[in-house]
Structure 1
Amino acid sequence: MIRIVLVDDHPVVRHGLRGMLEREPDLTVVGEASSGPEGVATALALHPDIVLMDLRMPGGDGVTATEQITAKSTGIRVLVLTTYESDRDILRAIEAGAGGYLLKDASPSELADAVRAAARGETVLAPSVASTLVRQVRKPPPPALSARETEVLRLVAKGLTNADIGRTLYISEATVKTHLLRTFTKLDVTDRTAAVTTAMEHGLL
């Protein structure tokens, strides 16, 4: 019997998941929690085979909870089950130790099969999530900005003009422009807004 803990802040979602999973003869829900911290406490107290973890909950996020559960108990597998599939959400969850990432539009049979696969130690990913991870792996590494270029761009992001930045950093306006032009080249952009946006996408700001 595969023992499962459900972590989701919506009681209706937990009730629906419990009903779907317990229709399967080899699956049983042994506990529920409505927040990340409660999920950690419940998982460590009950030692289930699988934790189905929502990502965004008011009482504490699922990524932090996943990290804490996998750090404290290697025998518990965490499967993320969420409506969110942004690149950032997926990468954070996998880096935290999640053994899989599923979306809430999965069918009951897909969910049950995913739980079984995770219990066997397999990594389970929704097709769109797998595509995202492949794309991330293939993505070239972010460009390296110097400390000064990063500093200048951070002030640009705050809305300061070149003159304002020069006064803040005690450098000339011409030097500010030079730093920005080098930054534009490294980020392959042509204006300030694109530079800030691209830098944020690469995690440089």
Structure 2
Amino acid sequence: MNRRLLALSGVAALTTLLAGCIYVSVPRPAESRVSPSPDGQVAQTAAPSSTATPLAPSPTASTSDDAVALDCGDGIRIVSGAEQSFRVTGTCTDLTVTGSALTVDASAATVASLRISGDGIRVQVASADELIVEGDDGAVTSAAGIGRIEIDGDRTTTEAASGIPSVIVRGHDNVVRSGGGVGSAVVSGSGNKIR
């Protein structure tokens, strides 16, 4: 009987000791970041909306004064990072923007091909021959036209002051607007607006 009581006491002591060694992690609330819109306002919602947010027309990009200055000296430029602002100048045969929550002012650059990969990326260009977007919640404005647009993602808004001859959209709730009209359009997904 004493051996049994002693064994039970030992098990209880060992259990108490081991219970003190168990690490319990309590999940922290998720933090959502929403990049500012071109007019400098920040959306108050933590989750992305189910429809694309119209991009307010702006004569200049909303990059901050501490934007990193880059030049397309050799014709090819890759801009990457997170939650940063960039100002691109020069002649870019290929400008690639990759990351998240980036703001790029390329309105003083000549851009042939603009490729965007990531979420929450905002780019302003003077014009582009080709625009390819892979990602969500982006915005691209062009002071002139864009020759060809291909979007693969959700909730991206693209605006061009003059015509867009060709548009391909795969995704949901994207908006393509053109002051000069849209030529051919191939669209798959729901809630997309091409006008």
TM-score by length of 2: 0.29
Structure with max Cα Rg: 2
More helix by share: 1
Structure 1 length-normalised TM:
0.28
Between Structure 1 and Structure 2, which shows a larger proportion of strand residues?
2
